[in-house]
Amino acid sequence: MENRYTDQMGNTIHLRGKPRRIISLVPSQTELLFDLGLDEEIVGITDYCIHPADKCRGKTAVGGPKSVDFARIDELRPDLIIANKEENDREEIEKLQGMYPLWMSDISTFDDALAMIEGVGKLVGRADEALRIACRIRDSITPFDDTGITVAYFIWQNPYMVAGGSTFIDEMIGRCGLTNVFASLPRYPAVTGEQIREARPEVMLLCSEPYLFTDRHIDEFQKTFPFARAVVVDGEIFSWYGSRLQYAGDYFRSLRRRLTDIVGE
């Protein structure tokens, strides 16, 4: 029996029964597939898929999200590939769509993330498990009260790049009760030191990924922008839109307390 599914970009794919050989091209969605209990069905992942570590180590890597190894994908004979509009290369995805059933996610909001989780659950025959994960996430990340704290969320340096509006990170910043000073800029803009000084955030959030900011960057940022405090934050919590969101509620509670104390000093 053939089943029809529509992905988050409006594409229709057809599957004969439950997929048995799945390739994931998105780290956060790889983790979701494992959390749905698909250890055996997952046959390929990207070089950047790291959670859960013990299970990812045993899977075949098919390149990076934007540089897939087509020959290796062919060798794995997938009956389903899961990808994402933003994280994967458009030309590569279009080529793969002509070869295999491929389901695309498109995530900008919290509701998009929950819809993706439930959609993938139905796609792989784990609808009940996916619904339970989505419900836990929804219950744990109801929007927190506004702290009144303004922030800039840095995803890169040299040049400085920040999370702007219409991004999942911006949505998560708001759900944490913080105000993104660069929300009026689109997507992930490069900004100058002068723009940062004009925006004058109270706190500079330095993410742990995609750029690996660490504590050694804190002094550098605070010397350059002495009006703000710099804090390293978990980039996976702010940007991974799969089952890792289960941990976001507790993380945000702790971060809010920390930032409130810092700003109040």
What tens digit of pLDDT does each residue of 153-177 get? 999 999 999 999 999 999 999 999 9
- List, in sequence order, every beta strand (DSSP E) within the chain: 2-6, 12-16, 22-24, 42-45, 60-61, 63-64, 67-68, 80-84, 102-105, 149-156, 160-162, 178-180, 190-191, 203-207, 229-233
Residue 89, SS3?
A: coil
What tens digit of pLDDT does each residue of 115-150 get? 999 999 999 999 999 999 999 999 988 878 999 999
Query: Would you kindly state where each structural domain of the chain is located, as residue ranges?
Result: 2-139, 149-264
Give yes or no on whether 2-139 and 149-264 have one common fold.
yes
Position 192 pLDDT exceeds 70: yes
What tens digit of pLDDT does each residue of 16-36 get? 889 999 999 999 999 999 999
Residue-level pLDDT at 51: 95
**Residues 52 and 74 sit within 8 Å (Cβ to Cβ):** no
What tens digit of pLDDT does each residue of 195-254 get? 999 999 999 999 998 899 999 999 999 999 999 999 999 999 999 999 999 999 999 999
Residue-level pLDDT at 143: 76
Taking the alpha carbons at both ends of the chain, their separation in whole angstroms is 64
Residue 162, SS3?
A: strand
What tens digit of pLDDT does each residue of 40-57 get? 999 999 999 999 999 999
Position 265 pLDDT exceeds 70: no
Distance of CA 215 to the CA centre of its chain: 22
Which helix (H) or strand (E) segment is 195 a member of?
A: helix 193-199
Rounded to an integer, what distance in angstroms lies between the CA atom of residue 136 and that of residue 208? 25
* CATH-assigned architecture of domain 149-264: 3-Layer(aba) Sandwich (3.40)
Rounded to an integer, what distance in angstroms lies between the CA atom of residue 176 and that of residue 178? 6
| 2-139: CATH, from 3.40.50.1980, 3.30.70.330, 3.50.50.60, 2.102.10.10 | 3.40.50.1980
Position 2 pLDDT exceeds 90: no
